[in-house]
Amino acid sequence: MADLRGWLLDLYADEADSLVLWLLAEDGRRLRLTQPFPLTFYAHGPFPRLRALWRFLQQQPVGIQLARTVRQDLFAGPLDVLAVTVSNPAWQPRLFRQITRCFPDLTYYDADIPLGLRYAAVFDVFPLCYCAVEVDDSGRIQHITPLESRWDVSPSQPPLRLLTIEPNEEPAHREPSFLWLDDGRSRRQVPLQPLPLLLASLHATVRRVDPDVILTRFGDTWLMPLLLKSAQELGAEWFNLNRDEGKAVIHRQENSYFTYGQVVYRGQQVHLYGRYHIDQHNAMMYGEYGLHGAFEQARVTGLPVQEIARKSPGSGVTALQMQEALRRGILVPYQKQQAEGFKTAAQLIHADRGGLVYQPTLGLHEDVVEIDFVSMYPSIMVRFNVSPETVGIENETSEHIPELDVPVDLSRVGLVPRTLRPLLVKRIAIKEQLAGLTALDCRTPALKARAAALKWLLVVCFGYLGYKNARFGRIESHEAVTAYGRDCLLRAKEAAEDLGYEVLHMYVDGLWVKKAGVNKNEQARPLLDEITQRTGLPIALEGIYKWVAFLPSRLDARVPVANRYFGVFQSGEIKTRGIETRRHDTPPWIAQVQLAMIQRLAKVPTGRPLASAVPDLIVFLRQQIDELRNGRIPLPHLLVSQRLSREIGAYRVPSPTCRAAMQLDAVGKPRRPGQRIRFWFVRGKAGVHAWDLPVVVETAALDTERYTTLLLRAASAILQPLGIEETEVRQAVLARAWQMPIPMSHDHLVTWAST
């Protein structure tokens, strides 16, 4: 017998040992422990069919216990169900597949719950949780007790060992020749060839370092498959990157799937046992919050680190709801795995016309106050108890939703608010900690990452509420949230107007308002307090703009566009929406020039007209175009990156992306729908040159005309609020003052052109 303390690293089902847990013990040992962990799922249906299932299960060779019982369905209340308890969780998936084949007509519950969630629901122990464990001499867990909660704001830090592996080239682009290996103490190169040596070297390094995390670039899509294939071909059975050497790695195939109006590509994946492999390039949200964010999401959701790192936060929300249901004894309906919704609140707002969108007052405005409701939709769900099972329930506690005349039951806290409240509370607590730290504090990056990770869980939860296929989704609850949202925004507008503000714009959860004399942060305080008082929702000051410009539609200059603007806060921070800098398909050069133009405008001293910067901007644009024509813009800065939305054969119009993908196809580098294709615009018939082609593009071949047009278009978005039209920008930049007069209708330009 031994009493241990340490952090839970990994947990999975095992044919021989039922449940395997890896513990990072306080003394630094990594221990493989085991535990019996029987699990139960349920079937519901006509009695004769349940009896048939009972007989079928009695004949199975594996250890199964059967019982008739009553369980709660979230909507239908108590249900008569057959409880099927499997003594080893490793048998459950195969057994369940068999059952659904033979009894497709029955309804199943708790049948596809990730093991870690069940474990968290039973023991309150989650990935990276610090816990106390009592084990017998054969490593079997007798007791396990958490020493911290998943809602702790400052969790203990497991001393994880990290090994970073990355190739010297991007494999889809150029054949790499060596790997960079970094164990935190030294960084060294390992040649890729010869392969037997590479296998031996990596195997030895992983044995020696014994990392808890192998962090790679292109590990999923290139390195691991390459290693596995080589090991197989060379008969190198000793090669194993798992900590649990009795296991083969999990290799999942690539796929493209359609979700919410776009194709998403998910590269193949390689997961390890006993340690984590995370490929930064195949981790959907990794760029948003990194390793600390992935750890935070694993902690609160209970999903394995390797899963949550690669998935969208949508799966995390589902996990949170499942765990909440498990803890409360509510049945979790079985369904085939969903494509994860990568649909943020704003997407849905657009899609469903749910959010309130105003037309902004066009043009340039000074001293504009922007205020935003904090996590508006989650806050509404918690504040007004919006949940699929509470909406539409009339009783003496019910409150009616504005506009909809639909009641909401307030007699019990709904599943969704119960799930969300601790997330909101934890995020606010982390943000409060952050507020007390400087940007240079060593704790700041991790806290920021964790706040962002929680924010993302909150953002996507709204989508899941109304998603018709979500387990606990219901469209009525979704409509309820947007109705409350519109109501709150209108109340905010009234509050602002009552306090003497002019409302310039409103967008879903934000307001842009202005009042003479209000240009300091603390002056907005009464407005914030008034709005919170009238709506019951927290609202925060985003900032006060020195100036902000709301842009019109490019197709009709009289029509405002809800989300096309740029501005500069008093802090000097720039905010842009809807313009080229924000688009992922804008070549970096154009995005940088556009941003540089805003930066130059931001430097115009208060009191001087912004238009005074125009001559400088025109000179700047001329210089940039000269650089382009002289081939001095670095080639990567001119790359366009667009997502391939379908197979190339399915295109009816050969878009530039399609043509670039065809070029790659022709050289044996096919690309899948959902993958990004990078290319240059070049002169000639094809018009494009794919970045991943073996032939490097000639600078002379670049379509400078096209890049010039794109640049001037981006520039004119910035100059438009200063009263300069695109044709005028074009003439001013391309025509040389000493060659021809510049026909300008604006005084400042005429003055400048004549000098």
Partner DNA sequence: TACAGTCGGGG
Partner DNA sequence: GTGTACGACTGTA
β-sheet bridge partners, residue 386: none
Instruction: Please identify, using beta-carbon distances, which residue of 100 and 641 lies nearer to DNA.
Output: 641
Pairing of strands 276-279, 213-216: parallel
How far apart, in whole angstroms, are the C-alpha atoms of residue 239 and residue 231?
7
Tell the smallest beta-carbon distance from residue 461 to DNA (Å): 13
By CB under 7 A, is residue 418 in contact with DNA?
no
**CB distance 704 to 715 below 8 Å:** no
Reply yes or no: is the peptide bond before residue 211 cis, omega within 30 of 0.
no
Out of 577, 622, 637, 683, the residue judged to bind DNA by CB under 7 A? 577
Counting beta carbons within 10 angstroms of the beta carbon of residue 329, is it exposed (0 to 12), middle (13 to 18) or buried (19 or more)? Answer: exposed
| Alpha-carbon distances of 44 from 50, 51, 59, rounded to whole Å | 7, 11, 20
Out of 338, 523, 570, 592, the residue judged to bind DNA by CB under 7 A? 338
Tell the smallest beta-carbon distance from residue 229 to DNA (Å): 22
The 506-525 contact track toward DNA, x by CB under 7 A, reads: -xxxx---------------
By CB under 7 A, is residue 193 in contact with DNA?
no
Out of 85, 149, 201, 255, the residue judged to bind DNA by CB under 7 A? 255
Tell the smallest beta-carbon distance from residue 371 to DNA (Å): 11
**CB distance 545 to 511 below 8 Å:** no
The 97-136 contact track toward DNA, x by CB under 7 A, reads: ----------------------------------------
How far apart, in whole angstroms, are the C-alpha atoms of residue 630 and residue 452?
43
**CB distance 318 to 470 below 8 Å:** yes
The 594-633 contact track toward DNA, x by CB under 7 A, reads: ----------------------------------------
How far apart, in whole angstroms, are the C-alpha atoms of residue 403 and residue 480?
9
Name the nearest CA neighbour of 110 among 59, 68, 73: 73
How far apart, in whole angstroms, are the C-alpha atoms of residue 377 and residue 343?
14
By CB under 7 A, is residue 558 in contact with DNA?
no
Tell the smallest beta-carbon distance from residue 705 to DNA (Å): 11
By CB under 7 A, is residue 561 in contact with DNA?
yes
Q: Which listed range, 231-239, 336-344, 432-440, 732-740, lies at the site for DNA (CB under 7 A)?
A: 336-344
By CB under 7 A, is residue 653 in contact with DNA?
yes
Name the nearest CA neighbour of 310 among 427, 423, 220, 420: 220
Cα torsion 654, 659, 661, 662 to 10°: value is 100
Out of 327, 637, 643, 669, the residue judged to bind DNA by CB under 7 A? 643
By CB under 7 A, is residue 652 in contact with DNA?
yes
Q: Which listed range, 31-39, 95-103, 218-226, 649-657, lies at the site for DNA (CB under 7 A)?
A: 649-657
By CB under 7 A, is residue 293 in contact with DNA?
no
**CB distance 505 to 360 below 8 Å:** yes
The 311-330 contact track toward DNA, x by CB under 7 A, reads: --------------------
How far apart, in whole angstroms, are the C-alpha atoms of residue 106 and residue 93?
17
Out of 204, 257, 441, 500, the residue judged to bind DNA by CB under 7 A? 257
Residues 6+ apart with CB under 8 A from 555: none
By CB under 7 A, is residue 578 in contact with DNA?
yes
How far apart, in whole angstroms, are the C-alpha atoms of residue 91 and residue 85?
11
The 689-708 contact track toward DNA, x by CB under 7 A, reads: -----------------x--
By CB under 7 A, is residue 469 in contact with DNA?
yes
Out of 217, 365, 564, 678, the residue judged to bind DNA by CB under 7 A? 564
By CB under 7 A, is residue 410 in contact with DNA?
no
β-sheet bridge partners, residue 32: 22
Residue 218 three-state SS: coil
Instruction: Please identify, using beta-carbon distances, which residue of 248 and 559 lies nearer to DNA.
Output: 559
- 34 Rama sector, left if φ>0, alpha if ψ -120 to 50, beta otherwise: beta
Instruction: Please identify, using beta-carbon distances, which residue of 67 and 734 lies nearer to DNA.
Output: 734
Kindly determine how many residues on this chain lie close enough to bind DNA according to the rule CB under 7 A: 63
DSSP string, 343-377: --HHHHHHHHT-S-BPPP--EEEEEEEEEEETTHH
Q: Helix (H) and strand (E) counts for the chain?
A: 20, 29
Instruction: Please identify, using beta-carbon distances, which residue of 309 and 508 lies nearer to DNA.
Output: 508
By CB under 7 A, is residue 641 in contact with DNA?
yes
In 137-291, which ranges are E strands?
141-146, 162-167, 178-182, 187-191, 213-216, 250-252, 255-259, 262-266, 269-271, 276-279
Q: Which listed range, 16-24, 116-124, 171-179, 334-342, lies at the site for DNA (CB under 7 A)?
A: 334-342
Residues 6+ apart with CB under 8 A from 12: 19, 20, 115, 273
**CB distance 537 to 488 below 8 Å:** yes
Tell the smallest beta-carbon distance from residue 359 to DNA (Å): 9
Q: Which listed range, 490-498, 592-600, 650-658, 739-747, lies at the site for DNA (CB under 7 A)?
A: 650-658
Out of 145, 156, 553, 745, the residue judged to bind DNA by CB under 7 A? 553
Tell the smallest beta-carbon distance from residue 80 to DNA (Å): 29
Instruction: Please identify, using beta-carbon distances, which residue of 72 and 532 lies nearer to DNA.
Output: 532
β-sheet bridge partners, residue 69: 81
Out of 65, 258, 573, 705, the residue judged to bind DNA by CB under 7 A? 258
The 32-71 contact track toward DNA, x by CB under 7 A, reads: ----------------------------------------
Instruction: Please identify, using beta-carbon distances, which residue of 231 and 729 lies nearer to DNA.
Output: 729
Q: Which listed range, 190-198, 229-237, 579-587, 600-608, lies at the site for DNA (CB under 7 A)?
A: 579-587
Interface with DNA in residues 339-368 (CB under 7 A): 339, 344-347, 350-351, 353
Residues 6+ apart with CB under 8 A from 272: 214, 241, 242, 243, 249, 250, 306
How far apart, in whole angstroms, are the C-alpha atoms of residue 724 and residue 752?
14
Interface with DNA in residues 438-467 (CB under 7 A): 455-456, 459
Interface with DNA in residues 658-677 (CB under 7 A): 658, 676
Instruction: Please identify, using beta-carbon distances, which residue of 38 and 510 lies nearer to DNA.
Output: 510
Contacts by residues 257-261 (CB-CB < 8 Å, ≥ 24 positions apart):
257/339, 257/674, 258/339, 259/339, 259/340, 259/341, 259/342, 259/343, 260/341, 260/342, 260/343, 260/347, 260/351, 261/351
Interface with DNA in residues 480-509 (CB under 7 A): 507-509
Instruction: Please identify, using beta-carbon distances, which residue of 614 and 682 lies nearer to DNA.
Output: 682
Binding residues (CB under 7 A) for DNA: these are 255, 257-262, 288, 336-339, 344-347, 350-351, 353, 372, 375, 455-456, 459, 469, 507-510, 551, 553-555, 559, 561, 563-564, 577-578, 582-585, 641-646, 651-658, 676, 687, 706, 709-710, 713
